[in-house]
A = this chain, B = another copy of it.
């Protein structure tokens, strides 16, 4: 059997005996033709097996694709092993979905962030960058393509919109909390941030040069509250749970062992909890642990995690609104002054400390 070419608008138009424009209107502007004719068009379309206007051709004609390119720093499994990402993207998706936008995932490659050619070839109206390292090529590609851009948890890029959280304040709250509990020997556990490819111990100045803005900010927040304290810094070797566990053991193996560990994510904190349990270290009796994010698993652990809460859903929602507003302001060819102003806006969701069971007196 010969697989016949899929029917097109023209085929339907010919079959019904109307012009192509009319068939197009039947799908896109029902008010432009009589209900009777529209029914007839639709019936004939069904009969011919015409599934509606081809999305690609429509995109070319309207110059809108209905897709949002999501630029990730890592592979999908790594990226989504962090509940924070899922929650944020979910909230984002819920905001843009009613307007017909779907997410096109561009996972990161070797260079951190998706390869430039993927970005150049991506069929999308706008890009959303999620916690990319500074200076990745993907952002240049976005710019040369002239794609609108929303960045999440990243430094502001000129012309882009940004949403982040109060990293420095959150970190400061966490450190202050521990200090007030009497702790003086601290561990700081940073996510993998390309400073030391294999992970490991870090000096403060090394860490200050991290490629990720949130790492730098949180570090600054921690250290600012810990004058004249012993501080051991450790960077995870990778983003996997395994490497987090390795790092946790390394931190707890330091001598003298820190009495409190500040973690830059709940994932890392949970790894410290797991390591402590395996080492027979009582939390919070002998060790206090603070996370960051307050993702759902933080409250399920035993003991439940003290952590810095940020409203991830709100972050995603705001990102979604920024996407929509950039898309809207890009449509009128003359980008009005107000639109440009909005485009360069940078917002941050507030943070707060959530004290649970993983922290106690030194």
Contacts and interface: CB of A to CB of B under 8 A. Distances in A.
Contacts of A123: 55-56, 59, 65-67, 123
Interface in A56-105: 56-57, 59-60, 63, 65-67, 75-78, 80-81, 83, 85-87, 89-91, 93-94, 97, 100, 102-105
Given A80-B80, A102-B105, A103-B105, A94 B75 contact: yes
A141 interface: yes
A105 B107 contact: no
Nearest to A313: B77
Interface stretch (A114-122, A176-184, A319-327): A114-122
Interface residues of A, number: 57
Contacts of A85: 80
A274 B80 CA distance: 23
11 contacts: A51-B144, A51-B146, A52-B120, A56-B123, A59-B59, A59-B123, A75-B93, A76-B89, A78-B90, A90-B107, A102-B104
A82 to B, nearest CB: 10
Question: How many copies of the chain does the oligomer comprise?
Answer: 2
A56 B65 contact: yes
Interface of A: 2-3, 6, 49, 51-52, 55-57, 59-60, 63, 65-67, 75-78, 80-81, 83, 85-87, 89-91, 93-94, 97, 100, 102-107, 118, 120-123, 141, 144-146, 241, 274, 277, 296-297, 300, 302, 333-335
A144 B49 contact: yes
A21 to B, nearest CB: 19
Nearest to A55: B123
A335 B3 CA distance: 8
Contact of A141 (B51, B57, B335): B51
Contacts of A94: 75
B86 A83 contact: no
